[in-house]
Amino acid sequence: MGKSEENPSTDDAVMQMLLDLSDQDGIEIGVTLNMNGTVVAGMLISPLTYYEGLIASADSVTNSTLAQVLHKKFSDLKEAFLSEKQEQEKSDKEMIATFIHLKDAFYLSSESHSFPKGQAWWRGRIDSIDGFSISL
């Protein structure tokens, strides 16, 4: 989201292009991120896909009360995001991304272990990325 000229979160043209492709075109691409000594990998997704994934995951929680609460809270966050995006579009301003979103995310440790196992939705600050690789 956002134009590279206006985005204070990253001055990396390649990362900005990937974020734009994900947000505007729904492209999902594998990335590995180095962030302050931590390595996390997964599929780069749009914020909307992230919120929709959280909602779907909440619906699969076995505790029905918790599932309902999480569904409501994540739905509220999604609606707030969409409302803010719509307001920005009306004013001819693009939203400036400050977070990057991954699905099927996992951390890599120095012992060649990855965790968590299973589907994980991940969100991190763009300005914390020290480096990245792309899986094409």
CA 33 to chain centre: 12
Residues 72-107 pLDDT 10s: 999 999 999 999 988 888 887 777 788 999 999 999
Are residues 17 and 3 in contact, defined by beta-carbon separation less than 8 angstroms?
no
Residues 39-79 pLDDT 10s: 999 999 999 999 999 999 999 999 999 999 999 999 999 99
Instruction: Please report the pLDDT score of residue 118 as a whole number.
Output: 67
Q: Residue 7 pLDDT more than 80?
A: no
Q: Give the chain's domains with CATH numbers.
A: 13-47+79-135 (2.30.30.100)
